[in-house]
Chains A and B, each alone.
Chain A
């Protein structure tokens, strides 16, 4: 089993890959252009697939390879394609609108990362040594995704925030529990795909009704 040969290298590689995910998360938070946001999400999903593949290699669990391939097919190719089409079709202005501007957002995200690390520290000690930091990084990505959904106005950026949360969850599941059963993962992938489609349609409706995809306008809805 390759795990016993070089557990250190495996752990370092997995930490490196999950760190790349966190870096792209920060890049998304600091991004002002919608299409670049979607591109960065595709890149993040690619890193996620690489992380999953590394975990699969070092733990000898072939079903994670399938999850990695599905990640590439759905999250790096299909969903960004759908989102790009939505952006093009509804002809939204290319700049992202903020509730909280970029520099304070970055500070908050930094605080969230620290929070994630201090919260998971007692748990990580009990877990497998192989992926010590990944669980904390996964939690940090979930929190930052959640923050993105709160702090950005446009529907498309909220989808990206939602998908980032999903990426964080997947990373956490892969890294700390060596993946979920394949059937659960298939279900999750299908859910995410459908969610992206539904939110895409919802964005169209928003555009039709308000001539804008700014979700804060929804508070003005009347009977």
Chain B
């Protein structure tokens, strides 16, 4: 790979994640609307929302500190940086030397950490409530997420996401070693729902004070700050869907930087991610939101499954 190719591939991957993420949000909303017998908004509606918000002015409370204005940029930048480390259409990404799965998780955590601080910063009751709830859920999902990716990493022999995806793609994906992989997949799917604030854990479509988690934290934000936060959330969602599809069903991903393969891989990736988005939309329509204190049951399942997936490796193959 020449230097120009490296730059192009990295840029292409970044642009794809950046530009596709609002579409995925729109797709999930469309699926939910159709299942509720509504026509639903246009698939491109999230883009219009973002441009509208970006053009609007910003209202900032006089009680806030620099944290409040810095957080949207930190959140957006850290999520964007994390998306550079996740293989999208090429399994051996040029930036794979820069960090492994722990880096990705810590970058995502950094954004969420600042968002929690910003929720507290304005001093409103809702912001604090949202932050404390987010902290509960986040502290429970994080171990499950790390363990489930490690379980796959054990089979692939690395904690580097790029290597995991590359090796799994050369083997048989989820069929390489079904029992631990399926457990890890189930765990990571629950983690995805919890981390991105989807229905059994949080409802992204409501501003009802008793139930909201993520929305409560960002309640004080407006204008371009809100646009950045929503865009970052959409990117995080797409990032998780990409992780799910590329770690467990990496079929179709390009293992060599050949232009034709990469073009096909982008198509395969788009199909897989859209399918996952549809699955999430159906899930959201099928299940009611859990009571806050019941969320721990769901996340407990994710944790136990991820732990079992990890232990499996030592019992069976050790």
Contact B183–A19 (Cβ < 8 Å): yes
- In the complex, whether A88 has a CB less than 8 A from a CB of chain B is no
A30 pairs with B179, CB closer than 8 A: no
B33 at the interface (CB under 8 A from A): no
Closest B residue to A102 using CB positions: B297
Chain A 127-162 against B: per-residue CB contact (8 Å), 1 yes, 0 no? 000000100010000000000000000000000000
Verify A12–B178 contact, CB threshold 8 A: yes
Chain B residue contacts of A113, Cβ below 8 A: 308
Known: A117-B312, A117-B315. A102 touches B175 (CB 8 A): no
A221 within 8 A of B: no
Let me know if A107 is at the binding interface, CB within 8 A: yes
Q: Which residues of B contact A118 (CB under 8 A)?
A: 315
Contact segment of B12-20, B84-92, B125-133, B299-307: B299-307
- Cβ of B304 and Cβ of A121 under 8 Å apart? no
Chain B residues closer than 8 Å to A30, beta-carbon distance: 297-298, 300-301
- Segment of A20-28, A65-73, A168-176 in the binding face: A20-28
Q: Do the beta carbons of B308 and A110 come within 8 Å of each other?
A: yes
Interface string of B281-317 (1 = CB under 8 A from A): 0000000000000101110110011011001100110
Query: Which residues on the A side are within 8 Å of B176 (C-beta)?
Result: 12
- A12 adjacent to B172 (CB under 8 Å): yes
Residue of A nearest to B299 (CB): A103
- Which residues in window 87-107 of A have CB below 8 A to B? 102-103, 106-107
Is A109 interfacial (CB 8 A cutoff)?
Answer: yes
Contact present for A32 and B304 (CB under 8 Å): no
Q: How would residues 156 to 196 of chain A score, 1 for a CB under 8 Å from any chain B CB and 0 otherwise?
A: 00000000000000000000000000000000000000000
User: Range of interface residues on chain B?
Assistant: 20 to 34
Whether A19 contacts B307 by the Cβ 8 Å rule is no
B304–A19 contact, CB under 8 A? no
Chain A interface size, as a band, is 20 to 34
For A107, give the chain B residue with the smallest CB separation: B304
Residue A218 CB within 8 A of the other chain: no
Q: Which of B174, B175, B178, B301 contacts A106 (CB 8 A)?
A: B301
Tell me which of A19, A22, A23, A117 has the highest count of chain B C-beta atoms within 10 A of its own C-beta.
Answer: A19
Inter-subunit contact A20/B182 (CB<8 Å): yes
Question: Looking at B174, B182, B298, which has the most chain A CB atoms within 10 Å of its CB?
Answer: B182
Q: A16-B178, A23-B182, A30-B301 are in contact. Are A114 and B308 (CB under 8 A)?
A: yes
Which one of B294, B298, B315 lies within 8 Å of A114 (CB-CB)? B315
The answer on a CB contact under 8 Å between B311 and A103 is no
Report B-chain residues with C-beta under 8 Å of the C-beta of A15. Answer: 178-179
- Is the C-beta of A9 less than 8 angstroms from some C-beta in chain B? yes
Interface presence of B186 (CB below 8 A): yes
Residues of chain A within 8 A (CB-CB) of B183 are 19, 23
Known: A26-B305, A113-B308, A114-B315. A103 touches B300 (CB 8 A): yes
A161 to chain B, nearest CB (A): 18
The answer to whether A32 and B175 have CB atoms under 8 Å apart is: no
- Least CB distance from A50 to B in Å reads 14
From the candidates A16, A27, A103, A107, name the one contacting B175 in the complex (CB within 8 A).
Answer: A16
B290 and chain A: residue at smallest CB distance: A32
Given A22-B179, A30-B301, 20 additional A-B pairs, CB 8 A: A9-B175, A12-B175, A12-B176, A15-B179, A19-B182, A26-B304, A27-B301, A30-B297, A30-B300, A102-B300, A103-B297, A106-B300, A106-B304, A109-B304, A110-B304, A110-B307, A110-B308, A113-B308, A114-B315, A133-B316
Interface residues of A (CB under 8 A from B): 9, 12-13, 15-16, 18-20, 22-23, 26-27, 30, 32, 102-103, 106-107, 109-110, 113-114, 117-118, 121, 133, 137
Question: Could you give 16 example pairs across A and B, Cβ below 8 Å?
Answer: A12-B176, A16-B174, A19-B182, A19-B183, A26-B305, A32-B294, A32-B297, A103-B297, A103-B300, A106-B304, A114-B311, A117-B312, A117-B315, A121-B316, A133-B179, A133-B316
**Interface pairs A-B: 10 shortest CB-CB:** A16-B178, A15-B178, A19-B182, A12-B175, A110-B304, A102-B297, A106-B304, A19-B179, A30-B301, A103-B300
